[in-house]
Amino acid sequence: MNMFDADYVLGAELPEAEPLVTNLIVPGITLLAAPPKYGKSWMMLQMALAVSSGGEFIDHETRRSGVLYLALEDGVTRLKKRLLQMGVKEAPGLYFSTEAPQTDDNLLDEISLKLALHSDIKLIIIDTLQKIKGETSGRNAYEADYAIMGELKRFADERNIAIVLVHHLRKLADETDPFNRISGSTGLTGAADTMIVLERTKRKDASTIMHITGRDIEASDIEILFNKDTHRWERLIPEKELDPVVEQYKRSGLSDTLRWLLEKDGEWEGTAKALFDNVRAWTGRDPAKNTKQLAGDLKLYTPLMKELDGITYYYLKRGTNTGVHHFIHS
């Protein structure tokens, strides 16, 4: 044990953990997870280009530095094609490798050599984590995951660099906490400094929610969209996302559910309980704490339903204490 007192901590001159991407990527370990074919590699290439040039990444400022991108599921041909599709003509400060040893076969020694040659590198992207996992026999899943993460974290902390590990999600949804969907044991999530999860209510949805949480950043949920023309991820209506009511409406699941209910006839009406049950059935989440709160929230959401989804809402009384909620797609 290396024991020291609080005065030592307060007086110690330590390197600041400056973010590479503001409120997203900081020195340490970031775990980014999404289902297959969600555009994770496009996102990582976009991030690598942004940091190596000092440009913006999905409306986040970056600190310019060298980037080592281990594109372990790609080849040079695919990388070149994607760079050209993104309109990139040059990218100084961005380094690639399409192969790498595993963690139990001198991976970190290899990376150390590259850092010695290129001291500007402050961000390392490993796509994917599965490709560098070493031999795990003789250890349970938690021990194996925590050992790998611990080794990578020590390496990152000692050099004050950021390592982003690209990973996958479990197929089963978890409406209570999207981070519970990260594949593997809690040895992965417990050791990560930052976690990012990409998910959609339905796979065919155009937009994606980027859930972000971490020890040194502010938790947030950002709606993003992959632009097929520019081959880059973009943030959707950022000015609206600053409004907590808009955030609440988007999280409620009402938007997707109402589009589904109105798809056939263009209108739907029912009680608050019926609407509550439909949202739960369609999205797997509760739109409010209870039906009474949902009825109150609908008044709050009325202008948003019209503006964002083209849905007109009004309440029809059917008696002294009863009534139905009516929705029309305009």
Q: What is the per-residue pLDDT for 175? A: 66
Q: Nearest 5°: phi and psi at 243?
A: -85, 115
* pTM for this entry: 0.70
**Structure tokens given for 105:** 């076969």
Mean per-residue pLDDT over the chain, rounded: 90
Q: Nearest 5°: phi and psi at 10?
A: -65, -30
State whether the Cα torsion 114-116-121-126 is positive or negative.
positive
pLDDT surpasses 80 at 164: yes
For each of the domains in the chain, give its residue range(s) and CATH number, in order of start.
Answer: 12-236 (3.40.50.300), 246-329 (1.10.10)
pLDDT digits (tens, 9 = 90+) for 57-113: 998 999 999 999 999 999 999 999 999 999 999 999 999 999 999 998 999 999 999
pLDDT surpasses 90 at 40: yes
**Structure tokens given for 91:** 């990218």
> Could you count the other beta carbons within 10 Å of the beta carbon of residue 167?
23
pLDDT digits (tens, 9 = 90+) for 251-287: 898 988 998 899 888 999 999 999 999 999 888 889 9
Average pLDDT over residues 141-152: 90
Nearest to 240 by CA among 252, 248, 232, 229: 248
86's CB contacts (< 8 A; 6+ apart) are 45, 46, 49, 230, 231, 232
Q: Please give the residue that has the higher pLDDT: either 14 or 56.
A: 56
Q: What is the per-residue pLDDT for 240? A: 47
